[in-house]
């Protein structure tokens, strides 16, 4: 059992509260998901539960964590640069006579046992290979509690489905962060929700022993009910205050119209005004106790411009193309692909099948045209971003006053603070960088969207807004995605790489 009692975590730099008085228990067999917008402290909370030394100097905390002598296994959101430079065998740190344990775990995880002897650096493996290799290392410690930080990033649908099975079949307790709604709905039995409201100045931490979908539905019902009660109470209060104001104005006017020749009436009016003022103070106290309208942490308030391309306009007509890696090796065989202006195409397939390579090829071809405005969002944001850029300089590179003002307004619509808008993008979270791309998309007014894993860094509460934004876009969308909800809601045409190029890609 891992137990948190009134745990609050604060940013050491500015004292800002990240987690507020969180209490919950993780028992064997529990499957609890940790959700919240980027920058709300999810990774910090996981690290603190596992080992406070991982965040030492960056945060301080009150309350307590009882770990109960458990063997905890922790999977960080990403491997470090040092870890990525190691071969798989070096990363696992096993002697020859111990490799059988890792090979057995690979078999359990539906991975090729030969992976443990791989001499390639960890960082060169596919997303699925990296996740499984890192999980093997965690499971070698025989944990009875698993803490997983974004294990779904960069893995294909087959690996996602495998991960669901692994989480559900693990004998111990699992606390995990994920942006994948389908995986959350298929695994989580309880929810921890970290929010920052009132312009990120107030932290709110909620634990609910409910499956994710029920939590969202009950939260929405509770918000709607509270909003209705608050609206009724405030309307009734307004009526009372309006009646009081009329009485006050009447008594005040009578007092001002008195003459010194009528002292008895003056005494009566003075007594009446005293009573009216007392009633006014009571109304003020009543207002303080009214039900407040519920406040949720809003995620995205953006709209994309209208697009005027003719729907039948031919954007691409590719014949006999080949996908080539940077080293010149081909992925699969020749392929044909036609794309019209109003199509919404989602490209899917296994890790390593060439999805991102295809998207870059399409971007190069479309950029050469002058009759369309193309927007490209890569999987690696720094293909486009400079780490020394600020959000403002990225969105308004000329520095013109009107452009800067517009950029600030749009950044506010996705919850960027003034400080975040002026900080180097290298300091932003993955979710904030993703939001920055969507702000630029809204400002640029493109006709064609080329998006590589656009929802991978959005919270499960923001992702539906992103899906709706892209789904309702009137121009052409070509997106790479492993997000099963995104594929079903946005993809009007699904292109599977193995079918397109005939690539026979095997990834453990």
Its pTM stands at 0.81
What's the mean per-residue pLDDT of the chain? 88
Closest to 142 in 3D by CA, of 93, 72, 215, 60: 72
Cα(477)–Cα(415) distance, integer angstroms: 25
Tally Cβ neighbours within 10 Å of residue 414. Answer: 22
* 3-class secondary-structure state, position 349: coil
* 3-class secondary-structure state, position 177: strand
Cα(141)–Cα(75) distance, integer angstroms: 12
Which residues of the chain carry a pLDDT beneath 70?
A: 199, 259-261, 293-299, 327, 503-508
Closest to 451 in 3D by CA, of 375, 383, 389: 375
Contacts of 256 (CB under 8 A, 6+ apart): none
Lookup: tokens for 446: 């493109």
pLDDT of the residue at 267: 84
Cα(433)–Cα(149) distance, integer angstroms: 18
Rounded to a whole number of angstroms, the CA Rg of the chain reads 29
Lookup: tokens for 147: 């803490």
* 3-class secondary-structure state, position 147: strand
Closest to 79 in 3D by CA, of 69, 87, 68, 67: 87
pLDDT of the residue at 293: 66
Per-residue pLDDT reduced to its tens digit, 358-394 = 999 999 999 888 889 999 999 888 888 988 899 999 9
Closest to 163 in 3D by CA, of 1, 37, 351: 351
pLDDT of the residue at 506: 44
Closest to 64 in 3D by CA, of 26, 13, 27, 9: 9
């Amino acid at each position: 059992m891992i137990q948190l009692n009134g745990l609050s975590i604060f940013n050491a730099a500015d004292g800002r509260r990240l987690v507020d008085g969180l209490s919950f228990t993780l028992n064997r067999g529990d499957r609890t998901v940790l959700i919240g917008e980027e920058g709300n402290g999810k990774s910090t909370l996981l690290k603190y539960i596992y080992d406070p030394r991982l965040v030492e100097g960056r945060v301080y905390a009150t309350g307590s964590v009882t770990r109960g002598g458990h063997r905890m296994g922790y999977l960080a959101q990403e491997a470090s640069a040092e870890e990525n430079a190691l071969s798989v065998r070096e990363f696992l740190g096993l002697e020859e006579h111990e490799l059988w344990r890792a090979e057995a775990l690979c078999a359990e995880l539906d991975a090729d046992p030969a992976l443990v002897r791989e001499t390639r650096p960890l960082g060169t493996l596919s997303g699925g290979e990296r996740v499984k290799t890192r999980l093997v290392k965690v499971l070698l410690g025989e944990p009875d509690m698993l803490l997983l930080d974004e294990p779904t990033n960069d893995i294909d649908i087959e690996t996602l489905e495998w991960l669901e099975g692994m989480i559900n079949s693990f004998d111990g307790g699992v606390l995990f962060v994920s942006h994948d709604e389908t995986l959350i709905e298929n695994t989580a039995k309880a929810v921890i929700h970290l929010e920052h409201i009132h312009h990120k100045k107030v932290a709110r931490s909620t634990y609910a022993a409910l499956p994710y979908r029920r939590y969202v539905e009950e939260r929405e019902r509770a918000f709607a009910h509270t909003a209705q009660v608050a609206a009724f109470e405030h309307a009734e209060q307004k009526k009372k205050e309006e009646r009081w104001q009329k009485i006050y104005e009447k008594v005040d006017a009578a007092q001002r119209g008195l003459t010194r020749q009528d002292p008895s009436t003056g005494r009566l009016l003075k007594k009446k005004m005293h009573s009216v003022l007392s009633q006014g103070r009571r109304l003020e106290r009543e207002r303080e106790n009214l039900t407040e309208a519920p406040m949720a942490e809003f995620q995205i308030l953006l709209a994309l411009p209208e697009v005027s391309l003719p729907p039948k306009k031919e954007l691409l007509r590719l014949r006999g193309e080949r996908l080539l890696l940077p080293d010149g090796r081909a992925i699969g065989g020749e392929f044909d692909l036609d794309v019209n202006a109003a199509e919404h195409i989602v490209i899917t397939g296994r890790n390593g099948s060439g999805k991102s390579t295809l998207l870059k090829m399409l971007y190069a071809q479309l950029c050469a045209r002058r009759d369309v405005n193309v927007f490209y969002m890569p999987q690696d944001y720094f293909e486009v971003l400079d780490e020394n850029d600020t959000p403002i300089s990225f969105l308004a590179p000329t520095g013109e006053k009107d452009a800067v003002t517009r950029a600030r307004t749009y950044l506010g619509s996705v919850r960027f603070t003034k400080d975040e808008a002026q900080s180097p993008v290298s300091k932003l979270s993955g979710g904030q960088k993703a939001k920055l791309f969507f702000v630029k998309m809204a400002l640029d007014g493109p006709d064609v969207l080329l998006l590589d894993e656009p929802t991978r860094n959005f919270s499960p509460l923001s992702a539906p807004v992103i899906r709706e934004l892209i789904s309702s876009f009137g121009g052409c969308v070509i997106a790479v995605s492993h997000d099963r909800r995104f594929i079903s809601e946005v993809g009007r045409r699904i292109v599977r790489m193995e079918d397109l190029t005939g690539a026979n890609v095997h990834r453990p």
